[in-house]
Structure 1
C-alpha cells in the first residue's frame, strides 16, 4: 500500500508566481480598546465576520500565523496564540512576542524561519488587497535581487510599510523576518512601534484608504459596519 500523504513539494507556494517566497504573519489583537469603552476590537462583527476573522483571512497564505492577545481569543487550530509580557504593554511588545513565537514554532517543527513577516493590526477589516500587494512587492524584490534602498545615500531598507493618504500605517507592513526580529528583540514594553520600524528604513508602499480604514472609535465601527460585539471582555 502506498503512502498517500502529500510530499513537501506538493504543498502549493504562497504566491504561485514566486515559488521561493516564504512569509509568516503576526496579528496584534490584544489592545485595551479604550476608545471603544474597552470592548475588544477583535470581537466586533458585521453579522458575518469578526475583525479577528477578517485579519486572519487576509493573512491566510502566511505560515505560521500568530495572533498576539489574551488566551481566551477564539483562534482556529492552525493559528498560534501568544501574549505580550506584561499584558497590555503595547503593540511593540506584542510584535516582539509574536516574532518570538514564530521562531519557537519553526525551531520546534524543524522548519526554516520565513524570509518575510507580515505585521498587521486586528482592526482593518478590508485590508486583504493591501496584504496581497505587500506580499507581491516583497516577493518581486527577492525575485529581481534588487537591494532595498531609498533614494540618495540612505541605508538599505529591510521591509515595506503601508502609507495611505500621507499617513504611515505602522501595523500594516512586511519586513525581512530576521531583521525585524532583531530590531524588536528588547526594550519594547510601552514603546513606540514606529521607533523600532524606522531602524529598518522601510520603503513606503501606497495603499488605498478604503483598504486601510480601521476601527478605533464607535463612529468608525458604524461606518465600516462592525458594531456587534460577540464577546464582552477578554
Structure 2
C-alpha cells in the first residue's frame, strides 16, 4: 500500500467486443472482417485491448483471434443489449471495456484514458459534438450486471445512461478513436486515413 494509505484502484479489465450485428447499412457484409489499413477492423480493436484479462467476442469465431472467448447472443443479431448480456456472462475482471468491432483508430492509450477517468458509473468516449459513444466505454462489471438484471429494454443509452458515466473527450485530429465504419463510404474514408498511418 502507498505511504499515504490509499490503496490504488484495481484496473484489471476484460473486454467485450460486439461483433455480431447485421450491418444493414453495409448490405449485410461482415463488418468486423472488413479491411482498413490492410487488416480487419476487429483486429485493430483487439490490439487496443491487448491488456485485457479476457477478450470476449460476441459474434462468429474469428480466425485471427484464437485467444478470444467467443459467444453468441440469442438469437444471433438480436441487438446490442442481448449481445452485451451474453458477453458479460464471460467477464471475470472488476472492469469491463465495452467496444464495437468497427473502431479502426482506437488504441491502447485511449482505453487507458477511459479506465483512468472512470468514476463509480464508468466512463464513455464522447465525440467532437459531445455525444456519448456507448460502444466505446468502460464500466464496473458488477454495476453492469446489476443494470442488466433490471433492464428489459433494447437501447444501450437506456441501459448505460443511468449509470452516469464520466464523459471522456480525447484530442484526436483526423483519426478520432470513436470513428466507426457503419457505411461503405465510412469504410473507404477510414482506409484512406489508415493507409499512411503507423500505429
Task: Give TM-score scaled by structure 2 length.
Answer: 0.83
The answer to whether residue 34 in structure 2 is matched with residue 50 in structure 1 is no
**Residues 22-76 of structure 1: CA distance to partner in whole angstroms, max 9, x if unpaired?**
1111000010010011111111113531101111111110111100002x43252
1:101 — aligned with what? 90
1:76 — aligned with what? 65
Q: Distance in 2 between matches of 1:84 and 1:215?
A: 22
The answer to whether residue 174 in structure 2 is matched with residue 223 in structure 1 is no
C-alpha displacement at 1:136, in angstroms?
2.7
Q: Distance in 2 between matches of 1:87 and 1:97?
A: 11
C-alpha displacement at 1:21, in angstroms?
2.1
Q: Distance in 2 between matches of 1:180 and 1:208?
A: 28
C-alpha displacement at 1:20, in angstroms?
4.0
The answer to whether residue 159 in structure 2 is matched with residue 196 in structure 1 is yes
Q: Distance in 2 between matches of 1:217 and 1:162?
A: 21
Task: Give TM-score scaled by structure 1 length.
Answer: 0.71
Task: Confirm or deny: 8 A CA contact 1:26 1:120 kept in the other structure.
Answer: yes
Task: Confirm or deny: 8 A CA contact 1:92 1:188 kept in the other structure.
Answer: no
The answer to whether residue 100 in structure 2 is matched with residue 126 in structure 1 is no
Measured at CA, do residues 43 and 188 of structure 1 come closer, stay the same or move farther in structure 2, by a change above 3 Å? farther
CA RMSD of aligned residues (A): 2.0
Task: Confirm or deny: 8 A CA contact 2:58 2:72 kept in the other structure.
Answer: yes
**Residues 171-219 of structure 1: CA distance to partner in whole angstroms, max 9, x if unpaired?**
0000111111221236557x00110001211111113452211101011
For residues 175-194 of structure 1, what are the structure 2 equivalents within 5 Å? 175-185=139-149, 187=151, 191-194=154-157
Which of 87, 90, 95 is equivalent to 2:79? 90
Q: Distance in 2 between matches of 1:202 and 1:48?
A: 34
Measured at CA, do residues 87 and 22 of structure 1 come closer, stay the same or move farther in structure 2, by a change above 3 Å? same
Aligned pair count? 180
Q: Distance in 2 between matches of 1:60 and 1:136?
A: 16
2:131 — aligned with what? 167
Runs of 4+ more than 4 Å apart: 186-189
Q: Where does the alignment leave 5 or more consecutive residues of structure 1 unmatched? A: 1-17, 103-112, 139-147, 149-156, 227-234
Name the SS of the counterpart of 1:67 in structure 2: strand
Task: Confirm or deny: 8 A CA contact 2:19 2:59 kept in the other structure.
Answer: yes
Q: Distance in 2 between matches of 1:208 and 1:30?
A: 30
Task: Confirm or deny: 8 A CA contact 1:23 1:118 kept in the other structure.
Answer: yes
Task: Confirm or deny: 8 A CA contact 2:36 2:187 kept in the other structure.
Answer: no
Q: Distance in 1 between matches of 2:155 and 2:78?
A: 11
Measured at CA, do residues 160 and 19 of structure 1 come closer, stay the same or move farther in structure 2, by a change above 3 Å? closer
